[in-house]
Amino acid sequence: QGATIFQQCQGCHQPGGTGLPGVFPPLAGHVPEILAAKGGREYIINVLLYGLTGQISVKGGSYNGAMPAFGAQLKDDQIAAVLNYISTSWGNKNPKAFTAAEVKAQRAKKLTSAQVYELRKKLGLK
């Protein structure tokens, strides 16, 4: 199911999760960096639910685009499935699978993409 949902992501993040330098950030090799940060697990759920806007740096590259919100199109279990896909594909590792219940808890927060950006700053990602 996660692989099928990822078809909605790969137009931007590319098959293989490589991203496009300077335009769309990579997910391969990067999702584990997010998950290793304190608060990263909640943060990445929020990116999917609410989107993300604002300048970010990923692996030395700068991005300042808009990640669309998927909270309206995708149910909690579908968001968990695509997160499980991107966190375990292309060499990415995630020992703790995402659950629909975790997504549901973040959905209750009703954030904006700008608030998600503020959350990202607190992760201390390089």
Q: Is 65 in the site for ligand HEM (CB under 6 A)?
A: yes
Q: Is 94 in the site for ligand HEM (CB under 6 A)?
A: no
CA 21 to chain centre: 17
- Cα separation, 74 vs 99, in Å, equals 14
Q: Is 40 in the site for ligand HEM (CB under 6 A)?
A: no
Q: In 3-state terms, what secondary structure has residue 54?
A: coil
Phi, psi of 116 (to 5 degrees): -65, -40
Q: Is 12 in the site for ligand HEM (CB under 6 A)?
A: yes
- Cα separation, 104 vs 90, in Å, equals 27
Q: Is 70 in the site for ligand HEM (CB under 6 A)?
A: yes
Q: Which residues bind ligand HEM (CB under 6 A)?
A: 8-9, 11-13, 24-25, 27, 34, 44, 47-48, 52-54, 56, 58, 63-68, 70, 82, 86, 120
